[in-house]
Every structure is written in C-alpha cells, then in structure tokens.
Amino acid sequence: MKSKVKMMTPAFNGDELQYVERALQKNEISITGENIDELTSLVLDYVKMPYGQLIANGTAGLHLALKAIGIDDNDLVFCPSMTYCGSAYPIIYERGIPVFIDSKKDGTMDENSLLAALEKYKDKLPKAVIIVDTYGAPADYDKLLPILKEYNVPAIEDSAESLGASFNGKKCGTLCDIGVFSFSYSKVVTTSLGGMVLSCNKDYMEKMSYLSNQAKAKSPYYIHKEVGYNYSMSNVLAGIGIPGMKNIENHLKRKQEIFDIYKKGFEDVPFISLTGDKDGSNHWQNGIIINNPDIDAAFVLNKLIENNIDARAGFNPMHRQEAFANFDFVSANNDTATELFRKTVLLPSGVGMTQKEQQYVIETVKKYI
C-alpha cells in the first residue's frame, strides 16, 4: 500500500464546522461559550455524572485531580507501570513519590500487586491511587476498589482512553472519586486537544475548576491566593467535539467492528491474542500479543513500519524509563508489565481507517509471523 496506514485516523461528519463558525461568529473564542456548555452537558448526560469541566488535556486533568485530593511534597501516589507517561508525570509535578504497580495479563492494574504495595507501605500509605483503563479496557474495579476502601485511600480513574467503555453497567470515568477523560486527536471523541475532569464530589470539582482557571478569586481585582494553572479548554476546540459526542455510539460501533475484524483475521494463529479483549472495552487501541518465544515482536513491528504501516510497540512500563529510575516498582507476579511490552505490537485502530487498510495490516502481520 503506497499511502501510509495511520495509527489513528479520526472521523468527522462535517458538522464540526458549524460549531467552530458559531464560536467565531459570536466572538466566543476564549474559555466560555455555547460550545463549552453544550459539550460539557453532552458528556455529563452520557456518563450520568453531576459535575464536570472541560480542560486542556488529560494530563492536566490528572494534575488537577491530585491537587484536589491534596497531594503534597513526598506524598506517595500509586500508579500502574504499564501506562502512558501522562499518568505518572503529574505526580512529579507535585513533588510526590510515584510507586509503580504491576499489571495483570489483560494489561490493567493487578489487585495482588496493589495489595502487596499497600502492605509494603502500610506505615506511610499513598495519598491516592491512579487506576488506568488500559487501551480502553476497564480495570477490575470490583477487585481494586474494595482494597482501597479497606485502606481508606482515594482513587483517581485515568479514563483518558476509555470514553464509552463500561464496567458492570457503569461508564468508565465514573467509578472512582475523580475521573479524567482525554479528547486528543486519537481518542474515540476528539477536540484535537482537550480533556475533562468529572466527579460526584462537589468540593473536588470546585477545587479543580478554580485551579484550572489560574486560581482567580471571584473578584473584580486579580487576586490569587494560591498557584493556579492555565488548563481551560478553548470554546473553539469544544465545537469540534460536539458532533463526535452526539455520534459516539456510531464511533463505538465502528471500534467494535475494527476489533472483531482483527480478532477474526488472527483466529487461525493460535499464539496471537488481542489487547483489550475484555467485556466493556471500547477497543480504543487494538494490538496483538505474540505468545511465541520464537517470534520477536520488535521484528514484526519493524516489518510493519517498513511496509508503510504506522504500528507501535505496546506501552513501555514506567519503571523501565530513565525518568522514573529512582522510584519503586511492586509486582506480585514477576513483572507482567515488561512481559506484555516485549510481546505487544499496537496496530492501526482509528475510526476513520478503511477495511482495505485493515486487511492490509492483517496480511502484513501474517506475512512476517
């Protein structure tokens, strides 16, 4: 295939322009306006949450969540090791100490490793635990949350990848004390850049809202009693997300179709399994896990790239990264996160990819395994 098969190709229906034009025509190009109000309502209605605010990006949302909970210097925060760096960076922003937790075979946080970490640090418990819905698949909240409740530790749900996913009938992003969505270009619904924080806790929400707008006091004067952040979303960008949010069920249906095609395409290869093969997943990112020691996932990845396919390796665990080399990693199962990284190749999964492109990806993978 001559043209590159991109990792994530968003799909737009053309209605985005009318909302961007609305912002321009009304001169609502800052952080307030009809687009902000409408997109906020659409998301909150969809996930059935009382409070939420659009923000600059998902990493900013996690930072605000940590601030709302009250992370301070040298406070511990537990975080999955197998995740994107944006899950962990905000801990460092607040001079906290991350402790990285191992994964299960499905890539989500391992409850046994979490319990081992809580026991290890029982004399100084974490101020919060960040749980990630890896590749859009929900973590096992029925196992994780009771453990955290027993230790009285609040949970932040990094649902950046999992808008539309669900766990036991509840939408991802609503299962912890604070939830965070991302609307970056690769996500199921995109505003090009953007995110959202949401919570049932009004105090948390008011704190995050206040800090996201540079901690401005309600006054005709510029009064700042603490350091704030320029984390608000533009009303122009919010307009891009409104049609996507209105059309989210079709996007999720397409994501399911892409997953099903990959699963059927590799069903005759017994040593291949798929990421996110789990009830409730929105199948944001599909990848293959090569469970054959004689086949090097890095070799397959490089061959896909040579054949003009924008494939990538799976998440490289945080405890392997130089930026986090001085922090602890707790595993009750012999470092499953690294095992998954070494076996995983992420495949193009955008809503806008064609069936022809997907079949080319499948055929190319098979050619080299």
What is the domain-level CATH number for residue 305? 3.90.1150.10
Give the per-residue pLDDT at 309: 98
Q: What average pLDDT is seen over the chain?
A: 97
Distances (CA, A) of 285 to 120, 222, 227, 263, 338: 33, 44, 36, 13, 18
- With respect to residue 3, please indicate whether it lies within any of the assigned structural domains: no
Contact in structure between 160 and 58 (CB atoms under 8 Å): yes
**Mean pLDDT to the nearest integer, 93-110:** 98
pLDDT higher than 80, residue 2: no
Q: Quote the pTM value.
A: 0.96
In the chain, how many domains are there? 2
Q: Which residue, 212, 246, 280, sits at the end of a domain?
A: 246
pLDDT higher than 90, residue 308: yes
- Helix, strand, coil share (%) of the chain residues, nearest 5: 40, 15, 45
Beta strand spans in the chain (E): 51-55, 76-80, 97-101, 128-132, 155-158, 166-167, 170-171, 178-182, 195-199, 272-274, 287-290, 312-313, 329-330, 344-346
d(CA 35, CA 23): 7
Q: Which residue, 217, 246, 275, sits at the end of a domain?
A: 246
Contact in structure between 53 and 191 (CB atoms under 8 Å): no
Eight-class DSSP state of 102: -
pLDDT higher than 90, residue 17: yes
Residue-range definition of the domain harbouring residue 203: 16-246
Tell me: do 241 and 252 sit in the same domain.
no
Tell me: do 151 and 263 sit in the same domain.
no
Tell me: do 288 and 216 sit in the same domain.
no
Q: What does the pLDDT look like over 292-305, one tens digit per residue? A: 999 999 999 999 99
Tell me: do 131 and 201 sit in the same domain.
yes
Q: How confident is the model at residue 218 (pLDDT cuts 50, 70, 90)?
A: confident
Give the per-residue pLDDT at 3: 85
**Mean pLDDT to the nearest integer, 93-112:** 98
What is the domain-level CATH number for residue 127? 3.40.640.10
- With respect to residue 99, please indicate whether it lies within any of the assigned structural domains: yes
Q: What does the pLDDT look like over 180-203, one tens digit per residue? A: 999 999 999 999 999 999 999 999
Tell me: do 143 and 70 sit in the same domain.
yes
Give the per-residue pLDDT at 314: 97
Tell me: do 22 and 149 sit in the same domain.
yes
Tell me: do 268 and 242 sit in the same domain.
no
Tell me: do 96 and 121 sit in the same domain.
yes
**In the beta sheet, which residues pair with residue 241?**
none
Tell me: do 136 and 163 sit in the same domain.
yes
